[in-house]
Amino acid sequence: MMYFWLFVSVTLASLLMTAGLRRYALARSIIDIPNARSSHSIPTPRGGGVAIVVAFLLTLPLLGQLGLVPLHYLVALGGAGALVAIVGFMDDHGHIAARWRLLGHFSAAVWALAWLEGLAPLNLFGVSVDLSWIGHALAAFYLVWILNLYNFMDGIDGIASIEAVSACLGASALYVLSGFTDLIWPPLILAAAVLGFLFWNFPPAKIFMGDAGSGFLGIALGIMSLQAAWVSPALFWAWLILLGVFIVDATITLIRRFLRGDKVYEAHRSHAYQFASRRYGRHRPVTLAVAAINVLWLFPLAWCVVVLKLDGLTGVVLAYVPLVLLAFKFKAGQLEGV
């Protein structure tokens, strides 16, 4: 690959920046102290996700200069990602009210959709469906949900990093297999930035991502999925399949907590992956299980949608059914001790 050096350089830059951020966090006592709602038991530095943000955003102008990514896509990714990262960074260093966070998140979503021209027509059972302005509104809520669920799911060592790397590398492989090789660079570079951080975040984690990193990953992955839909509707469905573990766990947990009358914006430990980590007493088996599900179950189904032309919505349903059963098996959204 002609520009493979980019992947290696971004990985090394992220790795070194994370090391520096860890030293800074330790020196300034920017530490995540365990509490009753935590899934970890050892005080750990936080804010390492800033390395992912900086490594990725600094590479975007180079991708544009090399002609690897169109300008409108770069502006959508860079502007929305930077805004979400700033909001997350401020929240990491001092609490921001939920309404102001949501305002920032929706502003980022609107910015991205303005440059992407909204939601592309989707293919449903062989029929192209253009939802027009309703689709654009739904796309804004989709982006805000994806970035928030990524924050919710960043609760045990390595899980958010593994999910991002799996989804990005899986999407890149599908782009190549389907002949859309010009799309690979944003997900490949994001995977590289996360891999550098993952060296420090793999269980047992030496530093946490923080809201700046998790929110940034959520909005970036959401934008990549919407941009892919303009190239081929099947690619959008493939992204939904690749992100299935996070989408299903977070959505079921939110619905059950909402129906119970809980304050859904408050921290908790009732996601399926959190129950699973407590059942097995460690984070690593759960994180590795997520990686295995992504590689052995979700990627093959996404491949069926993109390469074998399986109906996209059918593929999503087939992918999600076992994930829903797993979520209920591991008590997603249930009160602890019940």
Binding annotation = 151, 211
Separation between Cα atoms, residue 191 and residue 165, nearest integer Å? 5
Helices (DSSP H) in the chain: which residue ranges? 4-27, 49-65, 71-93, 98-116, 132-153, 159-177, 185-201, 210-231, 233-242, 244-260, 272-280, 284-293, 299-306, 312-329
CA distances from 147 to 87, 105, 182, 314 (A): 12, 8, 25, 25
Separation between Cα atoms, residue 259 and residue 33, nearest integer Å? 30
> Six-digit token pair at 58?
């600094």
Amino acid in position 52: I
Separation between Cα atoms, residue 316 and residue 39, nearest integer Å? 30
> Six-digit token pair at 199?
């060296």
| Residue 72 C-beta-side C-alpha neighbours within 13 Å | 8
* Coil, helix or strand at residue 31: strand
Q: Which of 267, 211, 257, 254 is nearest to 52 (CA)?
A: 211
Q: Contact 114/140 with Cβ under 8 angstroms?
A: no
Binding annotation for Mg(2+) = 151, 211
State the CB neighbour count (10 A cutoff) for residue 126: 7
Separation between Cα atoms, residue 239 and residue 336, nearest integer Å? 32
Separation between Cα atoms, residue 160 and residue 250, nearest integer Å? 12
